Chains A and B, each alone.
Chain A
Amino acid sequence: MNRWVIYIDESPIPLERWWRYLPNWLKRFLPIRGGRPEDHYGKSMFGFTVFLLSESIVFLSFIFTYLTLRLTHLQNWLPPGVSGSKLSTFVIINTVVLLSSSFVIQPAENALKHHQLNKFRWLWLMTICMGTYFLIGQGIEWSKLDFRLSTGLLGSTFYVLTGFHGLHVITGVVLQIIMLFRSLIPGNYNKGHFGASATTLFWHFVDVVWVVLFSLLYLWQA
C-alpha cells in the first residue's frame, strides 16, 4: 500500500481541506482552486498591497543605512555646534495631526462602503487638510533646522529619510484630491471603490513609516 498518496492535483498538502479554517481576509488574498479574475476589486487590492510591500523595502534600505552609520558614529553624530533634530512641541503636534488623520480616513472609507457619499467627502476633505498641515509643518521645521543636506552624516540621513517620506505624503495627498474629485462624478463607484481603498491603505502605510522615522530621528536624541 503506497503511503505517499498523490492527490489528483499533485499537491503535497490537501489545501481544500484546510480552506475553511483560514480567516476571511487571507481567503480574499489567496484564492485557490483557480482564481477569480472577475473580482476586480480584490485583484487590484492584492496587487496594491504587494506593491506597498515592495515600497517598504526601499524605506528599509534607507533605515538600514541610517542605523549602520549612526551605530558606528555614536560619539560624533552631531557635528560641532549643531543641535540636530530637536523634539519640539511643534514636531509633536505635527506628528499627532498626521497619525490621527489615519483615524479620519478609515471612517471615510467605511462611509463609502456604506454608500454615504457626503459623509465620505467631508471626512476625506478633513484628511486632505490634515495631510497638508503636516507637509507645511515639515517644511517650516526644515527651515528652522541648523544643518543642511551636506552637513555630515546627520544632514544626509535626516533629510533623505524625511524627504523621501515627505514625497510619499505629497503623493498621498494628491491621490486623495484626485479621489475627491472623482467622487463628484455620478456613477463613479459602480464598479467598486478600489481607488479610495488603495489611497486609504497608502495613507496608513505613510503613517506607519512616520512612526518608525519619528522614533529613529526625533526620539533617539544624540
Chain B
Amino acid sequence: MENIIGDRESSTSQNEPENNWRPYFSFSTDHKVIGVQYMVMSFIFFLVGGLLAMLIRAELITPQSNVVDRPLYNGLFTLHGTIMIFLWIIPFNAGISNYLVPLMIGARDIAFPLLNAISFWMIPPGGILLLSSFLLPNGTAQSGWWSYPPISLQIPPGQPINGELIWIVSLVIIGISSIMGAVNFITTIFWMRAPGMTFFRMPVFVWSVLSAQLLQLVNLPSLTGALILLLFDLNFGTQFFKPLENGDPIIYQHLFWFYSHPAVYIMALPAFGIFAEVLPAFSRNPLFGYRSLAVASLGIAVVSIFVWVHHMFTSATPSWMRILFMVTSMLVAVPTGVKAFGWTATIWKSKLHLETPMLFAMGGAAMFLLGGVTGVMLAAVPFDIHVHNTYFIVGHFHYIVFNTITMAIFAAIYFWFPKITGRMYAEGWGKLHFWLTFISANLTFFPMLPLGLQGMVRRISSYDPRYQGWNVIASLGSFLLGVSILPFIANMLGSWLYGTRAVNNPWHATGLEWTTTSPPPQDNFDEIPVVKRPPYDYGDPKYSVIESPDYHQPEH
C-alpha cells in the first residue's frame, strides 16, 4: 500500500473528530453514519432486552412464582429472546459491517446507499411496534421467540389486534430490512473492491460478512414465509398449522428452523471475523492459516444450511431424519474448529498486548470453546433427547450469544472506537468492564448447564425447590452482569465527548481502514488505494514498530 501516508509522521489524526450529533438523527446515506445509527440503536434495544432478563432472573431466584404473574413471565421471555436476536445482535452486526466493509475493501460507500438508509430506518419502527405490544390489554406475544403453533394461535377471542399479530408484523418488517441489507452487502463485496483487492486479499471479517449475508439471503425468506402463513392462520381462518383441522404444526417448525439455525451463524460469523481482526493486531502475528479461515467462513455457511432438524430431534421427526441431521450437525464443527485452532495458533509465539479489545477477544474465544463443545454434544441425538428444552440448551446458546458474540461485539467497539469517533476510550474503565463482564457472564450462564442435565425445563417461572441452588448463583451473576454495563456506558459517553484525540492507526494494525484518518472523511479515502500485498502483513516494517512512550499523547 505504497501510496498511503504513514501515520508515524503525525501524532494526531488529520481530521477533526466531530461531536456533531445531527447527522446521526437524520436520513443519511453515508454508510459510516448508518453504521453508527445501527450500532447505537441496537445497543439501546440490548439494554431493554437486558432489563427483561433481569426480571426473568429475579423471578427465578426463588422456586415460587412471586415476582410477575404467569402470562407476564411468558411475555418477558418471549420478548427477551426476540429483542436480543432481532433487535440487538443482528442489527449490530449489520451496523459494524456497514461501517467497516467499504473501508476494508477500499470502497467509497456501500453499493446501494439509499437502500441502505431505508433498511436502517425500517428497524426503529419495527422495534417500537414490538415493544408497544406491552401496552395492549392482553399484552405481548407469549409463546416464546419460536412462536410455535398451535400455542401461538391461542389468542384472546374477539381481539384481532393482539400481541402475537404485532410480533409477526414487526418481525416481517425487520426481516424485509435484513434481506435488503443482504442484497446490499453481497453486491458491495462483489463489485466495489479497490483495484488489486482480490478475494484472497480481503480481511477475514469481510469473508465472514459475505458468508453471513449469503445465509441471510437464502434462509431468511423461509422465516418470512412461515410468518406469513402463521399470520393467515391467526387472522384469516386458514389451517396450515392447526393439527385439529388437518394442518401440520411440524411444517412450521421446518420453515422456522430452516432460517433460525443459520440465524445463529449469521450472528456468530461476524463475531468470528472480529476475532480474526483483533487477535493478529494485538499479537503482532499474521493470522495463522488465513486462507483456511477465509474458506472456513464459507464452509460454515454452507454446512449450516443443512443442519436445522437438530432443533427437532424430539419432535415428530422420523429416525432416519434424526440420524442424518446428527451427522451434518457434527460436521459443522469442523470448519468452526479450524477457526478456533487458527486463532490459538495466531497468539502462539507472539508479542501479546493485552489492551481491552484483546481481552474481550481472547475471553470470547475461550468461552466459545465451552459453547461450541456443548453444541457438538447436543448434536448427538440420544443426549439431545435428554436435554432438549432444558436449561442445558439455554446455557449452551447463551455461551454463544453472550459469552462469545457479545464479547466479540465489545471487542469490536473498543478496537474501532478510535477510528469511528476519532477519540481514544479510557483503558482502565475498559479493563474494569471486561473483568466484570467475564466473571458475571460465567456466573450467570455456567450454572444453567448442570440445571439442564438435572432436568430443569426452560420457560418456567416456578420450579422444584431442589433446583434453587444453581438458580440463585445464576440470578446473582445476572445482576452483576447488569451492573457491569455501567462502566461501558460511562466510558463510551465520556470518551466520545472528551476523550484524547486518536491517531490514524493507534494499534499499528494492518487493514485499509487504518490507512485513512480517524474518523474517515466523507468519501472514505483521499485516493482509492491500489492493493498489492496480502492481509495481516505484520512482517512489513511499516507495521512492526517500537513506538515512543508518548505516542498516544496529542502533540499540542
Residues of A at the B interface (CB closer than 8 Å) are 7-12, 15, 29-37, 39, 42-44, 46-47, 50-51, 53-58, 60-62, 64-65, 68-69, 72-73, 76, 149-150, 152-153, 155-157, 159-160, 164
> Is A68 within 8 A of B248, CB to CB?
yes
- Among A29, A30, A64, A153, the residue within 8 A (CB) of B255 is A64
Q: Mark B173-189, 1 if CB is under 8 A from A, else 0.
A: 00000011011101100
Q: Mark B481-509, 1 if CB is under 8 A from A, else 0.
A: 00000000000000000000000000000
CB distance from A175 to the nearest CB of B (A): 16
> Is A11 within 8 A of B236, CB to CB?
no
Q: How far apart are the CA atoms of A8 and B183 in the complex, in Å? A: 30
By beta carbon, the residue of chain A nearest B533 is A8
> Is A65 within 8 A of B255, CB to CB?
yes
Name the interface residues of B226-270: CB closer than 8 Å to any CB of A: 226, 228-229, 232, 236-240, 245-248, 251, 254-255, 258
> Is B246 within 8 A of A73, CB to CB?
yes
> Is A150 within 8 A of B191, CB to CB?
no
By beta carbon, the residue of chain B nearest A51 is B183
- Knowing that A61-B258, A65-B255, A69-B240 touch, tell me 19 more A-B residue pairs with CB under 8 angstroms: A9-B198, A15-B199, A34-B194, A34-B196, A34-B197, A35-B190, A37-B108, A39-B191, A43-B111, A50-B187, A57-B218, A57-B219, A58-B222, A61-B222, A61-B224, A62-B229, A65-B229, A69-B248, A150-B239
User: Cβ of A43: which chain B residues have Cβ within 8 Å of it?
Assistant: 111, 187, 191-192
User: Cβ of B245: which chain A residues have Cβ within 8 Å of it?
Assistant: 152
Residue from the set B232, B240, B247 with the largest chain A CB neighbour count within 10 Å: B240
The answer to whether B387 has its CB under 8 Å from any CB of chain A is no
Q: How far apart are the CA atoms of A157 and B228 in the complex, in Å? A: 12
Q: How far apart are the CA atoms of A60 and B225 in the complex, in Å? A: 9
> Is B248 within 8 A of A72, CB to CB?
yes
> Is A54 within 8 A of B534, CB to CB?
no
- Among B108, B195, B219, B238, the residue within 8 A (CB) of A149 is B238
Q: How far apart are the CA atoms of A53 and B220 in the complex, in Å? A: 12
CB distance from B225 to the nearest CB of A (A): 3
The answer to whether B552 has its CB under 8 Å from any CB of chain A is no
User: Cβ of B190: which chain A residues have Cβ within 8 Å of it?
Assistant: 29-31, 35, 46
The answer to whether B299 has its CB under 8 Å from any CB of chain A is no
> Is B220 within 8 A of A37, CB to CB?
no
The answer to whether B538 has its CB under 8 Å from any CB of chain A is no
Given contacts A68-B251, A69-B240, whether A46 and B187 have CB atoms under 8 Å apart is: yes
User: Cβ of B532: which chain A residues have Cβ within 8 Å of it?
Assistant: 8
The answer to whether B201 has its CB under 8 Å from any CB of chain A is yes
Q: How far apart are the CA atoms of A55 and B225 in the complex, in Å? A: 10
User: Cβ of B200: which chain A residues have Cβ within 8 Å of it?
Assistant: 7, 9-12
The answer to whether B193 has its CB under 8 Å from any CB of chain A is yes
13 contacting pairs across A/B (C-beta < 8 A):
A15-B199, A34-B194, A34-B531, A35-B190, A43-B111, A51-B179, A54-B179, A54-B221, A58-B224, A69-B246, A153-B239, A155-B238, A156-B240
Number of A-B contacts (CB under 8 A): 151
How many residues of B sit at the interface, in one of the four size bands?
Answer: 35 or more
Q: Mark B521-550, 1 if CB is under 8 A from A, else 0.
A: 000000000011010000000000000000
CB distance from B254 to the nearest CB of A (A): 8
Pairs of residues from A and B, 5 with the lowest C-beta to C-beta distance, nearest first: A61-B225, A150-B237, A156-B238, A57-B221, A35-B191
> Is A160 within 8 A of B238, CB to CB?
yes
By beta carbon, the residue of chain A nearest B102 is A37
By beta carbon, the residue of chain B nearest A72 is B248
By beta carbon, the residue of chain A nearest B254 is A64
User: Cβ of B220: which chain A residues have Cβ within 8 Å of it?
Assistant: 54
User: Cβ of A64: which chain B residues have Cβ within 8 Å of it?
Assistant: 251, 254-255
User: Cβ of A9: which chain B residues have Cβ within 8 Å of it?
Assistant: 198, 200-201, 534
The answer to whether B271 has its CB under 8 Å from any CB of chain A is no
By beta carbon, the residue of chain B nearest A46 is B187
Residue from the set B192, B195, B197, B225 with the largest chain A CB neighbour count within 10 Å: B225
Given contacts A10-B290, A34-B193, A54-B218, whether A149 and B237 have CB atoms under 8 Å apart is: yes
User: Cβ of A42: which chain B residues have Cβ within 8 Å of it?
Assistant: 191
The answer to whether B8 has its CB under 8 Å from any CB of chain A is no
User: Cβ of A54: which chain B residues have Cβ within 8 Å of it?
Assistant: 179, 182-183, 217-218, 220-221
- What DSSP secondary structure best describes chain B's contact surface? helix
> Is A36 within 8 A of B534, CB to CB?
no
Given contacts A47-B111, A155-B238, whether A62 and B232 have CB atoms under 8 Å apart is: no
> Is A61 within 8 A of B111, CB to CB?
no
> Is A156 within 8 A of B255, CB to CB?
no
Q: How far apart are the CA atoms of A58 and B220 in the complex, in Å? A: 9
Given contacts A31-B190, A34-B196, A61-B255, whether A150 and B534 have CB atoms under 8 Å apart is: no
Q: How far apart are the CA atoms of A164 and B193 in the complex, in Å? A: 37
User: Cβ of B186: which chain A residues have Cβ within 8 Å of it?
Assistant: 47, 50
By beta carbon, the residue of chain B nearest A150 is B237
The answer to whether B107 has its CB under 8 Å from any CB of chain A is yes
The answer to whether B291 has its CB under 8 Å from any CB of chain A is yes
By beta carbon, the residue of chain B nearest A29 is B190
Q: How far apart are the CA atoms of A37 and B112 in the complex, in Å? A: 11
Q: How far apart are the CA atoms of A125 and B180 in the complex, in Å? A: 30
> Is A37 within 8 A of B192, CB to CB?
yes
Q: How far apart are the CA atoms of A97 and B224 in the complex, in Å? A: 30
User: Cβ of A62: which chain B residues have Cβ within 8 Å of it?
Assistant: 225, 229
User: Cβ of A159: which chain B residues have Cβ within 8 Å of it?
Assistant: 238
Q: How far apart are the CA atoms of A51 and B245 in the complex, in Å? A: 35
By beta carbon, the residue of chain A nearest B187 is A47
User: Cβ of B251: which chain A residues have Cβ within 8 Å of it?
Assistant: 64-65, 68-69
Q: How far apart are the CA atoms of A33 and B196 in the complex, in Å? A: 6
Q: How far apart are the CA atoms of A65 and B227 in the complex, in Å? A: 13
> Is B236 within 8 A of A149, CB to CB?
yes
By beta carbon, the residue of chain B nearest A15 is B198
CB distance from A20 to the nearest CB of B (A): 17
By beta carbon, the residue of chain A nearest B250 is A68
By beta carbon, the residue of chain A nearest B213 is A50
User: Cβ of B217: which chain A residues have Cβ within 8 Å of it?
Assistant: 50, 53-54
Given contacts A43-B187, A50-B183, A57-B221, whether A8 and B534 have CB atoms under 8 Å apart is: yes
> Is B240 within 8 A of A65, CB to CB?
yes
User: Cβ of A31: which chain B residues have Cβ within 8 Å of it?
Assistant: 190-191
Q: How far apart are the CA atoms of A61 and B218 in the complex, in Å? A: 11
